[in-house]
Amino acid sequence: MSAQIRCSDVVRAAFRDVMRGVASTVTVVTACDARLCHGMTATSVTSVSMDPPSLLVCVNSNTLLHDILLATRRFCVNILRSSQADISAAFGGAVDARSRFGTGAWAYTGDGIAYLTDAQANVFCRKAALVPYGSHAVVIGEVETVDLRQAPSEPLIYQNARYCVSVAAPAAARSGRAGLLQRGS
Average model confidence (pLDDT) across the chain: 89
* Model pTM above 0.95: no
> Could you tell me what percent of the chain has a pLDDT over 70?
88
> How sure is the predictor about 175, in pLDDT bands with cuts at 50, 70 and 90?
low
Burial class (CB in 10 A: 0-12, 13-18, 19+), 169: exposed
> How sure is the predictor about 176, in pLDDT bands with cuts at 50, 70 and 90?
low
Domain 9-174: state its class.
mainly beta
